[in-house]
Structure 1
Amino acid sequence: MAQQKYSAKDLGFWRITISLAFASFFIFASMYVVQPILPVFVREFNVTVSEATLTLSLPILGLIIGLVMIGFFSDRLGRVTFIKYSLVFTVIPFFLIPIADSFYLIVLLRFLQGFALAGLPAAALAYINEEINHSSIGIATALYIASNALGGMAGRVVAGYLTDRFSWETVFYSFAGIGIVIAVLVILFLPRSRFFQASNLSFRKDIEGMLFHFKNPSILIIIGMGIVLQFSFTSIWTYLPFHLEGEPYSLSVKTISYTFFAYGFGVVGAPFAGWLAGTFGMKPIRIAGIIVLSLGIFLTIFSALPMIIIGLCVSCLGFFTAHSLTASTVAEEATHHKGSAASLYLVAYYIGVTLGSSAVGPVWNMSGWNAIVIIAGLLPVTYLAFVIIFQKKTVSKVIRTQVK
């Protein structure tokens, strides 16, 4: 009797779903753990703000490289091995960073950690699609993505709390311990692949499949939206701790870290946006999400702390709405090589993280918080206007061609 893919009624389904949820939680917590403690690095190592943000942008660069390389190998060697190794090699730098005697050694370790982080996102969704029945894929994917957001939120909040209560070194040792527990659980409980079929395509063919999308302007401008959305969102959250630790707020690292609970609006907002898109269509809800993101960012320009908190909550709701539906739009626009289109969007998304963390440093140094808010708030709606104009011209051109 032929093996059947796991459905929600099978134990194997829950072993996969829960294992990947824990793995995702840890990987994304590890990715963003430094964000609330960037001001501490500035003081502790006597580095500039731009240099401190390298502990966030360099791991993302490592992640981008890893996504391309590990994605290639996981198509040929399997998924489970890379998921497990991703967790193990993510843990190791957490032990080494606290004893590093140079800030740039910490940056190097974070870069290597970023490469290790890529093993999970490079293989997880493909593994879910291969092993889980089509009727249950939605549940597994939703829990996996929700764990991304929860991990990112928890990592920031816990890091801020532990730094303020103990030290920044305690943060990394604590995450090392958590990572060991999660890695052991995943190694023991994640089922082996049963339906994986190794690709026999050459690396050149994979690259050609990715380059195929560069000939399609409709996909490129949507992928560009991924860069813009993440650039704006990351720049606000990266420089928020520097803004709130200064006058007139003078907030502690622990208190600042509590602002990351605003991510809860994104965790709730993304599934709700999916439901609205099913009712009203993907495009209008995506546009609404982009506008809400910009509105929330602009609210943070006010000096009243409650207004800043409201702005952060609104921007999280808008960002996760726009991001989830933009990713879906890429898959919808791609007529061929849908997998490589999704990979391109993911790479663009993380390029936005890198630019939004370190590239904005000179703006902060020269003009401060208000300048960052204005740039981050205007960019999404400006790019949205460009996309709308481009799409209208494309439709008009197609109509004129058909008439002729």
Structure 2
Amino acid sequence: MTEAALRQPDSPWPGHHAGTRAYVRVLTAMTAAGIATFSQLYSVQAILPDLAVRFEASPARVALTVSLATGALAGFVLLWSGVADRFGRARVMGLALIASTTLGLLAPLVDHLWLLLILRTVQGAVLGGMPAVAVAYLADEIYAGHLTRATGAYVAGNTLGGMSGRLVAGLVADLAGWRWALAADSLLAVLAVAVFLVALPRPRGFVASHGADAGLRRRIRTSLADRGLLALYAQALLLMGAFVTVYNFLAFHLLDAPFALSPALVSLVFLAYLAGSLSSSVTGRITERLGRHRLLLGATALMVTGMAGLLAPTLPVVLAALVIFTVAFFAAHTVAAGWVGQRARTARAQASACYTLAYYLGSSLFGWLGGLVYAALGWSGTAGYVIALCLLAASATLALRDPPHGTPAGPGHERTRDHTVTSAPRPDTRTAAE
């Protein structure tokens, strides 16, 4: 059945339904956008040991190439969300991808670490325009009943980008050095951006907001008023911090005894991202059956299990544990990110931006602190640090049993086992599920 048949005359835009051509185009474009964004953002993570040798710097200092980029991204997401509210989410995403890829092509040309840090900071700030509005864009364009699975597909594209960026950089660096590694990732981003620009259909659900800055401040306050949304932001902050810490410093751990792997072999551990990509795709469908809160807690517990396994002295156990840890993280992230898009009744772009801000602030702050822990306490101390972040995230989920701020329980609301679902439609007629 076509979307025209599903839609009543003169009714508001309901969103693309799964299986339609436009839905496939949206998912293709957003997958390409995820590859372009995250292949650039995290490509340096695979070559941190190379950068430490080249610039004669400590692991914590070269890890700033990741932390400053993600920190700048976090610092600009709210600004980008305001720009997107006025000029359109699709325009902002395209601009961010084109500008960041242009900056990425300059990275292989720098000769000093401080210059690379500055370039990475600016690139991260520009990249913020993509993840800041991606989930809000999906909520605008995709039918609400299929939004969770669409978000899962988008996150799967992110994981594919993160894996491919790290894997390409690691393998190329071992053959030709860190400059060619960054160049190869930038060329990958160029191809992905081209796919995004060709595949993305014309936006149909976006309504421009021309309010003053006071309107943006009001929408930000709204996105911070709900305890459940704050709990979801906490998931992004803490779990992403745990995840980036592992992927920042596992390479250093595997290069040392008892493993003593070559850089090329170490780069292959990023193939674990394939499991993360699959996890993101499947999680959306599982969530529709089992409920978000239960799945979020289960995924966090699985992250703790995976981190414990990463302490093993044998490589097969470490690799299996890394897959478990990665699958669990992306399952948790998919649930939390999709939940934000549906829980936020108003100011959806700002709620999405706040989640993104927390996500990359966790990457920047806790990823950097993880380097200090690794330098002081080694890998076992780092494992304890990661587990502590996961336990804090799990404790924050208690607030997710509350209905959204200003949504009383009563007629028209159905209490499920972990959240409230309202039968009242949103202004765009999609069903709002918290």
**TM-score, with length taken from structure 2:** 0.82
Residue in structure 1 matching 2:153, options 104, 129, 143 = 143
Q: CA deviation at 1:24?
A: 1.7
Q: Do the aligned partners of 1:209 and 1:337 also contact (CA within 8 Å) in 2?
A: yes
Residue in structure 2 matching 1:85, options 89, 92, 95 = 95
Q: Do the aligned partners of 1:233 and 1:356 also contact (CA within 8 Å) in 2?
A: no
2: CA distance between counterparts of 1:44 and 1:146? Answer: 33
2: CA distance between counterparts of 1:322 and 1:7? Answer: 25
Give the secondary-structure state (helix, strand or coil) at the position aligned to 1:34: helix
1: CA distance between counterparts of 2:19 and 2:289? Answer: 29
Counterpart of 1:355? 365
Q: CA deviation at 1:9?
A: 6.2
Counterpart of 1:243? 253
2: CA distance between counterparts of 1:244 and 1:70? Answer: 38
Q: Quick one: which amino acid aligns to residue 218 of structure 2?
A: E
Matched, 1:325 2:335: yes
Q: CA deviation at 1:331?
A: 4.9
Q: CA deviation at 1:102?
A: 1.2
- Say which structure is richer in helix: 1
Out of 101-110 and 201-210, give the one that drifted further.
201-210
Give the secondary-structure state (helix, strand or coil) at the position aligned to 2:130: helix
Matched, 1:74 2:115: no
Q: Quick one: which amino acid aligns to residue 50 of structure 1?
A: A
1: CA distance between counterparts of 2:290 and 2:177? Answer: 49
For each residue in 1:376-401, what CA deviation from the matched residue of structure 2 results, as whole angstroms up to 9, or x when unmatched? 12331244246549979xxxxx9xxx
Counterpart of 1:117? 127
Matched, 1:101 2:114: no
Counterpart of 1:42? 52
Counterpart of 2:178? 168
RMSD between aligned residues: 2.9
Q: CA deviation at 1:348?
A: 0.9
2: CA distance between counterparts of 1:83 and 1:390? Answer: 30
Residue in structure 2 matching 1:20, options 8, 20, 30 = 30
Give the secondary-structure state (helix, strand or coil) at the position aligned to 2:106: helix
2: CA distance between counterparts of 1:196 and 1:62? Answer: 27
Q: Residues 150 and 190 from structure 1, CA distance in 2 versus in 1: closer, same or farther, beyond 3 angstroms?
A: same
2: CA distance between counterparts of 1:126 and 1:218? Answer: 18
Q: CA deviation at 1:296?
A: 0.4
Residue in structure 1 matching 2:203, options 177, 193, 198 = 193
Counterpart of 2:43? 33
Give the secondary-structure state (helix, strand or coil) at the position aligned to 1:107: helix
Q: Residues 268 and 132 from structure 1, CA distance in 2 versus in 1: closer, same or farther, beyond 3 angstroms?
A: closer
Q: Residues 390 and 136 from structure 1, CA distance in 2 versus in 1: closer, same or farther, beyond 3 angstroms?
A: closer
1: CA distance between counterparts of 2:205 and 2:32? Answer: 23
Q: Do the aligned partners of 2:135 and 2:352 also contact (CA within 8 Å) in 1?
A: no
2: CA distance between counterparts of 1:216 and 1:315? Answer: 29
Q: Do the aligned partners of 2:236 and 2:362 also contact (CA within 8 Å) in 1?
A: yes
Matched, 1:259 2:285: no
Q: CA deviation at 1:29?
A: 1.0
Q: CA deviation at 1:63?
A: 1.2
For each residue in 1:155-194, what CA deviation from the matched residue of structure 2 results, as whole angstroms up to 9, or x when unmatched? 1111111111221111122223233333344334434434
Out of 166-175 and 367-376, give the one that drifted further.
166-175
For each residue in 1:247-304, what CA deviation from the matched residue of structure 2 results, as whole angstroms up to 9, or x when unmatched? 2222122211111111222222234344443333322222111111011001111211
**TM-score, with length taken from structure 1:** 0.87
Q: Do the aligned partners of 2:148 and 2:285 also contact (CA within 8 Å) in 1?
A: no
Q: How many residues align?
A: 394
Give the secondary-structure state (helix, strand or coil) at the position aligned to 2:208: coil
Q: Quick one: which amino acid aligns to residue 108 of structure 1?
A: I
Out of 318-327 and 175-184, give the one that drifted further.
175-184
Q: Quick one: which amino acid aligns to residue 296 of structure 2?
A: R
Counterpart of 2:429? none
2: CA distance between counterparts of 1:327 and 1:386? Answer: 15
Matched, 1:292 2:277: no
**Structure 2 runs not aligned, ≥5 long:** 1-8, 403-407, 409-434
Residue in structure 2 matching 1:212, options 197, 210, 222 = 222
Counterpart of 2:354? 344
Q: Residues 339 and 196 from structure 1, CA distance in 2 versus in 1: closer, same or farther, beyond 3 angstroms?
A: closer
Counterpart of 1:180? 190
**Percent of paired sites with the same residue:** 26
Q: Do the aligned partners of 1:157 and 1:254 also contact (CA within 8 Å) in 2?
A: no
Give the secondary-structure state (helix, strand or coil) at the position aligned to 1:360: helix
Q: Quick one: which amino acid aligns to residue 37 of structure 1?
A: I
Counterpart of 1:370? 380
Q: Residues 326 and 7 from structure 1, CA distance in 2 versus in 1: closer, same or farther, beyond 3 angstroms?
A: closer
Out of 104-113 and 305-314, give the one that drifted further.
305-314
Give the secondary-structure state (helix, strand or coil) at the position aligned to 1:119: coil
Q: CA deviation at 1:101?
A: 1.8
Q: Residues 150 and 389 from structure 1, CA distance in 2 versus in 1: closer, same or farther, beyond 3 angstroms?
A: closer
Q: Quick one: which amino acid aligns to residue 244 of structure 1?
A: L
Give the secondary-structure state (helix, strand or coil) at the position aligned to 1:367: helix
Q: CA deviation at 1:97?
A: 1.7
Q: CA deviation at 1:110?
A: 0.7
1: CA distance between counterparts of 2:243 and 2:226? Answer: 27
Q: Do the aligned partners of 2:297 and 2:394 also contact (CA within 8 Å) in 1?
A: yes
2: CA distance between counterparts of 1:390 and 1:173? Answer: 43
Q: Do the aligned partners of 1:290 and 1:318 also contact (CA within 8 Å) in 2?
A: yes
Q: Residues 285 and 106 from structure 1, CA distance in 2 versus in 1: closer, same or farther, beyond 3 angstroms?
A: same
Counterpart of 2:427? none
2: CA distance between counterparts of 1:389 and 1:338? Answer: 19
Q: Do the aligned partners of 1:227 and 1:351 also contact (CA within 8 Å) in 2?
A: yes
